[in-house]
A and B are shown apart, each in its own frame.
Chain A
């Protein structure tokens, strides 16, 4: 965390997030993200040993309900909003094989 963010790291992160960056965007985003991470050095300096993380402000656990059928979304209404459908399902381009 002491070394500044590199363009290679940002390129890797973009790939993981399924985003394509132009060379100009890669440079600009790297600078901008590095500035945000630079600001985070203030928490890097804190002694946080023994402090429990807080992932969520509400400590509700095991929210249960009776297993009864309720209203569900209308399949035709949902599929009507999808980019491509076939036989009542979402249709995607090839995932495996020659095209993939």
Chain B
């Protein structure tokens, strides 16, 4: 365990061996040195972080336990509400807006002793796979600043990769935690839908959205899940079960586990270097005692089409609330309808407009059955196919992203090319299943590759066992 992990920091702070304020200053110094180049943050909350760190140290001095994330710097994706602190979704629509409440996950981090260092950049309203759709400019990949960090949680992935904070929170509607984690060489987890509260996560696709952590290693990701997860009475889709103890199982190994490689995600459209790393990961799991087989999940191939009807449909409803009345931007006009049109036209960027229009179209009279209705039925097929696969194997593995980090501008002019970045990740959102990305080697140019581990609903324990085994196989 390196001294920079969240677990090591919290252990040392709780034991009185390190002060939270010193830990914070080390991270602020790193942010100051490299943030101008990376642009991971929309806002660095230096003063609030210093106050929070000092409060943690005072708790320790009084003999109290600040919690399992004592003094750990954490970055928050800027679509998580923070009371009194601007929360923009990287949109002009919410520029300057300060929420009147904290997201449940933010409250839980604070209660565990974490120190929030800032709000991270994202594709506007979490719609994108590169952070190029941020209204405030893109984030750069710390491994190669001529390349994107992925998205939409690109700021959170870059913050962890650059050492700005050992843990960051993101949100994942179609891969927005896992894909940037893969492109930035960090761990990213999308828990089972309903495992983590969505209260205070600004909604994109409500049946798909899930909050989860990005971290430098598997153990820190497990720790963060345990802190933020579990039932929240404030979210009616929150599952009643407590979040399982993941860290107790990280060293269980994979002896006797059954691992499937998703056959549909091995060939077409997957870069050869990425495919080679997935094969290497499968071999490592076999060497560790798992049985590994290729397994077909046919509906995976329809996932992209279903997703790009379902997610925009939900987005078009969720984003109807931005009308210049209650919060955020208002562009004045002589009457209410013109005010709303002017506000939405000026406040939203192109990608958000595309998705709102696509969703409005898919839901509109005459097209509902052909598009949205059909997509929901495909969702059932996807679930059935996964259930069939999970009757034969405990977990599935695949690439997280078909390619490693791409260059700025490479896909931004062609929405469909950008959407194809999500082909491996979206199916877990449509099914509601947990999935995570684990860094696994690099491509020929030295860019990080992520391997995705997927599990059935509530299967976080086997998923983390496999992720931990993959991490160990590289050590």
B424 to chain A, nearest CB (A): 16
List, sorted by A's number, 18 A–B pairs whose CB atoms are closer than 8 Å.
A16-B360, A19-B357, A33-B357, A40-B371, A40-B375, A42-B305, A43-B305, A43-B375, A53-B373, A53-B376, A54-B377, A57-B207, A58-B237, A58-B239, A58-B432, A81-B326, A92-B336, A94-B335
- CA A65 to CA B234, docked complex, whole Å: 10
A12 to chain B, nearest CB (A): 8
Confirm or deny: B354 has a beta carbon within 8 angstroms of a beta carbon on chain A.
Answer: yes
In the complex, residue of chain A having the shortest beta-carbon distance to the beta carbon of B234: A70
- Describe B's contact surface by its main secondary structure: helix
Confirm or deny: A74 has a beta carbon within 8 angstroms of a beta carbon on chain B.
Answer: yes
- Interface residues as binary, A15-28 with B (CB distance below 8 Å gives 1, 0 otherwise): 01111100000000
- CA A44 to CA B377, docked complex, whole Å: 11
Compute the total of residue contacts between A and B using a CB distance below 8 Å: 167
Could you say which of B97, B193, B340, B383 contacts A81, with CB atoms under 8 Å apart?
A: B97
Most chain A beta-carbon contacts within 10 A, residue among B194, B308, B353, B361: B361
- A73 contacts B100, C-beta separation under 8 Å: yes
Could you say which of A18, A95, A99 contacts B344, with CB atoms under 8 Å apart?
A: A18
- Interface residues as binary, B323-361 with A (CB distance below 8 Å gives 1, 0 otherwise): 111111110111111111110110010100110111011
- Which residues from chain A contact B46 at a C-beta distance below 8 Å? none
- Describe A's contact surface by its main secondary structure: loop
Confirm or deny: B197 has a beta carbon within 8 angstroms of a beta carbon on chain A.
Answer: no
- A65 contacts B100, C-beta separation under 8 Å: no
With A36-B419, A40-B309, A92-B336 already in contact, the answer to whether A84 and B302 are too (CB < 8 A) is no
B251 to chain A, nearest CB (A): 31
- Which residues from chain A contact B415 at a C-beta distance below 8 Å? 32, 35-36
Q: Which of A28-56 contact B (CB under 8 A)?
A: 29, 32-33, 35-37, 39-40, 42-44, 46, 48, 51-56
- Which residues from chain B contact A35 at a C-beta distance below 8 Å? 414-416
- Interface residues as binary, B390-432 with A (CB distance below 8 Å gives 1, 0 otherwise): 0000000000000000000000001110010000000000111
B447 to chain A, nearest CB (A): 27
Residue tally, chain A, CB below 8 Å to B: 50
- Which residues from chain B contact A57 at a C-beta distance below 8 Å? 193-194, 207, 383, 430-432, 457
Residue tally, chain B, CB below 8 Å to A: 72
Most chain A beta-carbon contacts within 10 A, residue among B301, B323, B381: B381
- CA A42 to CA B375, docked complex, whole Å: 11
With A46-B378, A51-B377 already in contact, the answer to whether A36 and B364 are too (CB < 8 A) is no
- A92 contacts B361, C-beta separation under 8 Å: no
In the complex, residue of chain A having the shortest beta-carbon distance to the beta carbon of B327: A81
Confirm or deny: B184 has a beta carbon within 8 angstroms of a beta carbon on chain A.
Answer: no
- CA A65 to CA B231, docked complex, whole Å: 13
Q: Which of A66-82 contact B (CB under 8 A)?
A: 73-74, 77-78, 81-82
- A1 contacts B341, C-beta separation under 8 Å: no
- A29 contacts B337, C-beta separation under 8 Å: no
With A39-B304, A63-B236, A78-B100 already in contact, the answer to whether A54 and B379 are too (CB < 8 A) is yes
Could you say which of B98, B308, B374 contacts A44, with CB atoms under 8 Å apart?
A: B374
- A29 contacts B357, C-beta separation under 8 Å: yes
- Which residues from chain A contact B336 at a C-beta distance below 8 Å? 92-95, 100
- Which residues from chain B contact A73 at a C-beta distance below 8 Å? 100-101
- CA A35 to CA B324, docked complex, whole Å: 31
- Which residues from chain B contact A56 at a C-beta distance below 8 Å? 207, 237
- Which residues from chain B contact A20 at a C-beta distance below 8 Å? 341-342, 345
- Which residues from chain A contact B354 at a C-beta distance below 8 Å? 29, 32-33
